[in-house]
Copies of this chain bind each other. A is one copy, B any other.
Amino acid sequence: MGSNTESDHAALRKISAGAKAGESLRNRVHTGEAEPAKLVSIKDIARSAKVSHSTVSRALNNSPRVKSDTVERIRRIAEEAGYRGSAIARSLATRRTKTIGVVVTTIADLFAAGVVSGIETVAGDNGYSVVLANSNADPEREKRVVRTLEERRVDGIIVTASRVGALYLPLLSRMNVPIVLLNNQHPSEFAHSVMIENFSASYEATRHLVELGHRRIAYIGDRNGSQSDTDRFGGYRQALDSGQLPFQPELVVYGSGTPESGMEVMATLLGLAAPPTAVFCYDDMTALGAMRQIHASGRHVPRDVSVIGFDDLSIVQFTEPPLTTIRQPMTEMGRLAMEAVLDLLGGSGSTHEIKVRGELVVRASTGPPKGKAPNSDSHV
């Protein structure tokens, strides 16, 4: 078996020549109707190793049923030929694509990007690839996205930070794969989810303001009416109660989660006869807009108005002033979601309803209200 390796290699070179083309890295432009460039397959290797393709397949998959020096020989030949197994063919045969679909409204924001980053890391470490699908909240695109994931036969799906509407639900439930929802509003419909503990986090944030002595605390919510918003609002209410503060409806307004809308609704709040001395925002982006508006109106954060956000996006520690906020471990949550998918793919029948706690991070955008400050001049 050692005697014929020379001729074997020669034969193989001829085979893989089409793939290797020029010797060194060639600079040529990819040209002409994209010739699919015959790659080396296990059959080619089988031929030059003088075994059947089944043996090659088993050798490369550590099957105990093939002689160890045969394995070695085949491995070497495969290596030298630059063999790369076709995930496509493998998927067809095994009925597993080692692929998970990640549905996201848009990836162009730090929250989604962080989550996807966490997902991708864990996926990659376990041999899974991530196909991205952003819907842009466009119904047409949403339908297309689902269809694509279906056709690609993804092994699992993670839906993140998207209001899974009436559209997704029936379509997604059709395909018989594990689905994990991340911070979504219909956690009960599907069995699996990863969520931030909105209520307690929100309570803690508002409580922080209460303890600083604020009595007029506003809440800027999410006008899309998400479950997260409801829960965060709940925590806000509870914290008010705990501080014996009256609930004042005019201090609750709703934005769309963008800085622009944050500015807009903050302007409304500042226009009140008795403006709030503190604002708890649904998310950091809104808080960014709120701060901007406060500054633009000639006021100061936190002297005139304290601001607190939600998410702890990587940038908000560098704003002026650095933002007090609830840290939401986005990457970690992505990780957890992916690990849940892996667990489910592994055959675990368990139900995942993972809750992660948000942590209050106190920075410089919150402080005592004017009245209670050292240099007091009480008004109101």
Mark A residues whose CB is within 8 Å of B.
Answer: 19-21, 25-34, 36-37, 82, 84-89, 91-92, 95-97, 99, 106-110, 112-114, 116-117, 120-121, 124, 129-134, 136, 141, 144-145, 147-148, 150-153, 169-170, 173-174, 176-178, 189-192, 259, 285, 288-289, 291-292, 295, 314-315, 317-320, 322, 331, 344-347, 349-351
Known contacts A88-B92, A177-B30, A110 near B107 by CB under 8 Å: no
A137 smallest CB distance to B (angstroms): 13
Q: Are B349 and A320 in contact (CB under 8 A)?
A: no
Q: Are A108 and B97 in contact (CB under 8 A)?
A: no
User: Closest residue to A347 on the B side, CB-wise?
Assistant: B33
Known contacts A107-B113, A173-B25, A292 near B320 by CB under 8 Å: yes
Q: Are A191 and B85 in contact (CB under 8 A)?
A: no
Q: Are B134 and A131 in contact (CB under 8 A)?
A: no
User: Closest residue to A26 on the B side, CB-wise?
Assistant: B173
> Please, which residues of chain B bring their CB within 8 A of the CB of A191?
27-30
Q: Are B129 and A152 in contact (CB under 8 A)?
A: yes
Q: Are A88 and B86 in contact (CB under 8 A)?
A: no
> Please, which residues of chain B bring their CB within 8 A of the CB of A110?
108-110, 113
Q: Are A107 and B117 in contact (CB under 8 A)?
A: yes
Q: Are A32 and B347 in contact (CB under 8 A)?
A: yes
A78 smallest CB distance to B (angstroms): 13
A291 smallest CB distance to B (angstroms): 7
> Please, which residues of chain B bring their CB within 8 A of the CB of A82?
174
